Chains A and B, each alone.
Chain A
Amino acid sequence: MIDLLGGTLLILGSAVVLVGGFGLLRLPDCFSRLHAAGVIDTLGAWLVLLGLLVLSTSIIVAFKVLLLIILFYFLSPVNSHGLSRTALKSGLRPFTDKPS
């Protein structure tokens, strides 16, 4: 049962990470690519690590994986935020279909 749950989470997570990778490659401009790199990847990492948390056999390993999940939860969005604010400030503009 636990194996099934962990396996499902792992497969789901890797599918999400794969989608994020393709998005990074195919999306048209840098701010839309931020969705693939920032949002989708955080979810994918979350799911994979949750799967590992379910599958971990000892308390100390589970604690470390939990710490990793918490770190991803806080630091990944903060990183993306900092980078995108800097990008806006340095003069990059989001791609829109309206003429600027």
Chain B
Amino acid sequence: MIDMINIGMDIGLLGVLLACALLILRSGSLLAIILLSAAYSLSICALFVILDAVDVAFTEAAVGAGISTVLMLAVIRRQDESLHAPRWPSAISVVTGLGLGLLLIVGTLDMSMYGNPLAPVHLHLAPRFIGQSGAETGIPNVVTSVLASYRGYDTLGEVVVIFAAGLSVLLLLPSANTETGEEHEDRQRRAWIADNPILKAALLRVIPLVLLFALYVQFHGDYGPGGGFQAGVIFGAGVITFGLLCGLGKLLAILSERWVSIGMAAGVLLYAGTGVAAMWRGGNFLDYSTLAETPTAGQHTGILLIELGVGITVAFTMISLFICFSRGRD
């Protein structure tokens, strides 16, 4: 019966995904496409749950439910909503798309078959990670220890990519803010959301819960699904809610852009600094075993610190993106 539930869920969710994609293809309004892609991301999150990839599902839930819709809506606010795309795509885009797809398919030919028990990853990496990561790092969640310790270099690269993305948005959308703070306040007052007591009363009370949940995800990541990336996005979503409810002016009065930039850099610095501290104490870069008396305790400390660095960078990057996209002209 469990098998039947699994197969049914697979077929159902893949069908829903296909339906979403087809509806997006034939939809003419950008707003509809944004809402449909929110539905798409929801169903792919459920699919990750079925595949037992709970950490990935967590990330998809945090990003898809909160941030991506907010950012895409902020983008279409800057331009006309209707889609002026031609009915048929141009030859160049067809050739590029098909060629790229073909290249990707050719790339997958080198991978071993899905589910093949003799694939190299199941012979060498998986037994080590599953069998010994608990003893080596003292952390029950294998995903966290692989992400933060065994593949710490990769994760450092990912954090730097997120930092660079935030930085490039800051550079591309400079603070050429033509309206003053007062004008902004005035426009906020005209927009009705600022004086809707029901939305404000209900949602302002949820923000502390969201921030608390972010901290839970951050520090519970060693034991259950979660970690720095997810926690950062959830924290950012909480702060963005405040910005949407009370206006950008109030948000900037609490958290100035200068501090947001400092926070973005501080997380990356904390991550790299942990690596340097490991070198300082006689180990390799990002080898946390030297950070405390016993190697296991050192690993635990190091993973906690770098997850915190990831969380800080992701949270402040999200806030910075929101500020960049939502200020300026309408």
Which residues from chain A sit less than 8 Å from chain B, CB to CB? 71, 74-75, 78, 81-82, 85-86, 89
Contacts and interface: CB of A to CB of B under 8 A. Distances in A.
Interface in B181-211: 192, 196, 198-199, 202-203, 206
12 contacts: A71-B206, A74-B206, A75-B206, A78-B198, A78-B199, A81-B198, A82-B196, A82-B199, A85-B192, A85-B196, A86-B192, A89-B192
Contacts of B199: 78, 81-82
Interface of B is mostly: helix
Contacts of A82: 196, 198-199
B196 A75 contact: no
7 tightest CB-CB pairs across the interface, nearest first? A78-B202, A82-B199, A81-B198, A74-B202, A89-B192, A78-B199, A78-B198
Contacts of B198: 78, 81-82
A16 B197 CA distance: 31
B192 A75 contact: no
Interface of B: 192, 196, 198-199, 202-203, 206
Contacts of B203: 75, 78
A75 B196 CA distance: 15
Nearest to A81: B198
Contacts of B196: 82, 85
A1 B192 CA distance: 51
Contacts of B206: 71, 74-75
A81 B203 CA distance: 12
A49 B199 CA distance: 24
Given A78-B199, A82-B198, 17 more contacts: A71-B206, A74-B202, A74-B206, A75-B202, A75-B203, A75-B206, A78-B198, A78-B202, A78-B203, A81-B198, A81-B199, A82-B196, A82-B199, A85-B192, A85-B196, A86-B192, A89-B192
Contacts of A74: 202, 206
B35 to A, nearest CB: 12
Contacts of B202: 74-75, 78
Contacts of A81: 198-199
Nearest to B206: A75
Contacts of B192: 85-86, 89
A74 B199 CA distance: 11
Contacts of A78: 198-199, 202-203
A84 to B, nearest CB: 11
A86 B192 CA distance: 9
A89 B196 CA distance: 12
